[in-house]
Amino acid sequence: MKMMLLVFLCSLGLAGAAGLGRIEACGIRCSQGLQCKTKPHSLFPPPCETPPGGLDASSVFRNVSLATVMRCEGRQKCSLHLRIRIALQLTDSVHGVSVVSVCTVSSGMMENCRNISFKRASRERMSGEQVEVESDCTDVSPSQQVRVTVKTAPGYCGVTWTGAHQAPECTSPDLQRHVPECITGRLLYDINPQRKELTVSVVDMLEDHDYRLRLCHKDFICMGTGADALIKRDEPERSVQLQYSKPLPCLCIEGWSMVMDAPRVQVCPFRDRLEELWAGITFDPLEGMLSWTPPCPLAVVVVLCQQREAVCEELPDASRDISREKVSFTKVDPQPSLCMKFTVGSRSWTRCPFADARLQGLPSLPRAVVSQQASRDLTWVVVPAGVFLSGIVIVTLLTVCKSRKSKRCTNEKQTDLDFDRMIPALQTKPVLRGVLVPDSARCGNGETANLISD
């Protein structure tokens, strides 16, 4: 009998080692020679009794093990069950142990108890032997935590075994292929960098249901970057094309079946492309502020450094540890050798935003500043040109006045006065400090006024 029990236990252990065990139907099973069956459980059991001398939990329950098994009605129609194995010692001193009570309870659920009874004849025949009892009719869900209590009935005070078990999560490959609430489908993809396009295929998707795909930026949740793509359940070609803008490490493909509370699967094609994160350095010349905002959540150390040949020497008090927030350095002098060094783990990258020519190295320089500088440059050209042209007009008019007769010059006195008033209006910015002085004998001797400059 002991040899058969050992073979029974070993066979069960080998079955579990290969993965989740399979059952055809749930039920109650006992060691060979012991007849057992289930009995209704009383909603209001009597108080526990004082156990006989020497009787305790360790002398009755030699071993209790908990495991999850799977029962399937189809390739994608499997359910999970809790398997409870109890190694029980039958002796003359436990003659009152005719029933074993197994109770299970999980968070938010009512306690579920099953009583297992032994027929008197078989129990007396196997007195002194260790017997095996197995029950696997308790349904469980993926990741569910279950508390198990095993005791005698009638119950002896203190003769109780308690334990806890957690069912496998949906990350188990066995559950992802066969348990409906865990089936996410598997995503395969090809990258076309020239067209910035991902071709995504779905295999092993949940039967008889449509499927959705999208691109998203992964953080606490995966935030969608565009419209979802739909794959119909009856489409023979189960693939779509998704467009992306930048190959960021946090850019992922997400897929899920069109059922309520469906689990989702994510794959990130560019998860190793950390160098894509260091773009987007901005500089505000008015504030002297150099900034960088991480496009993906990442623990990174950012430090300013001075590039000297092949080494970038870190500047004192210019280091920042960030993960999501923007990092800024103020009072920055935009020198070509000033760089930003990014460190993730043991890897580092250096970016020098001022290394190129005046504007080519500063792609984020505000256009308003450039326009403002251009306006100042244009002012220094237009103003002197206007003054120069005004001088030419003055000289020309004075020359004409000199060649005219005295009578005509007399008539031009009023004109000269008007012209004197016009000069300040033509001069947008006085450059020549000159005054027009009328000659007292101007019309008498036919001479013009002279332009005096000090």
**Together in a domain, 196 and 343:** no
For residues 87 and 132, the answer to whether their CB atoms sit within 8 Å is yes
Per the structure, how many domains does the chain have? 4
Q: How distant is the alpha carbon of residue 104 from its chain centre?
A: 38
Q: Return d(Cα 184, Cα 39) in angstroms, integer.
A: 40
- 15 and 92, same structural domain? yes
Q: Yes or no: say if 297 and 219 are a contact pair by the CB < 8 Å rule.
A: yes
Residue by residue, pLDDT tens for the chain (454 residues) are 333 333 333 433 333 334 689 999 888 888 877 788 887 777 777 788 888 777 788 888 888 999 999 999 988 999 999 999 988 877 665 554 556 788 888 887 888 888 888 877 777 777 777 888 898 988 999 999 999 988 877 778 888 899 999 999 998 889 999 999 999 999 999 999 999 999 999 999 998 899 999 999 999 899 999 889 999 988 878 899 999 999 999 999 999 999 998 999 999 999 999 999 999 899 999 999 999 999 999 999 999 999 998 899 999 989 999 888 899 999 999 999 999 999 999 999 999 999 874 433 344 436 333 333 333 444 444 445 555 666 665 656 555 445 554 444 344 444 344 434 333 333 333 333 333 333 333 333 333 333 223 3
SS3 of 50, please?
A: coil
Cα 425-427-428 angle, rounded to 5 deg: 95
Q: What is the pLDDT of residue 419?
A: 35
Same domain, 78 and 216: no
Residues 67, 201: one domain?
Answer: no
Contact by Cβ (8 Å): 201, 187: yes
**Residue type present at position 332:** V
SS3 244: coil
pTM over 0.75: no
Structure tokens at 350: 């250096």
Would 112 be classed as within a structural domain? yes
* 207 and 323 co-located in one domain: no
309: left (phi over 0), alpha (psi -120 to 50) or beta: left
Pair (346, 376) in one structural domain: no
Say yes or no: 101 and 221 in one domain.
Answer: no
Tokens of 301: 């150390």
| Boundary (domain end) residue, out of 267, 289, 304 | 267
Examine the domain organization and report whether 169 and 192 are in the same domain. no
Q: Is residue 358 part of a domain?
A: no
77 and 148 inside one domain: yes
Task: Give dist(CA 6, CA 2) in Å, integer.
Answer: 6
**Terminal Cα distance for the chain, rounded:** 133
C-alpha to C-alpha distance for 229 and 443, rounded to whole angstroms: 95
pLDDT value at residue 378: 43
Inside any domain, residue 361: no
Q: Are residues 447 and 390 in the same domain?
A: yes
Domain co-membership, 283 together with 325: yes
For residue 157, the tally of other CB atoms under 10 A from its CB is 11
* Token couple for 436: 């027009």
Question: Residue 103: exposed, middle, or buried by beta-carbon count in 10 A (0-12, 13-18, 19+)?
Answer: middle
Check which CATH number belongs to the domain holding 139 and give it. Answer: 2.60.40.2160
* Whether residues 252 and 280 fall in one domain: no
Q: DSSP letter at 438?
A: -
Domain hosting 421: range is: 367-453
Write down which residue in 234, 267, 300 finishes a domain: 267
Residue 255, pLDDT score: 96
Q: Tell me the residue ranges of DSSP E strands in 244-299.
A: 251-257, 264-267, 282-284, 289-292
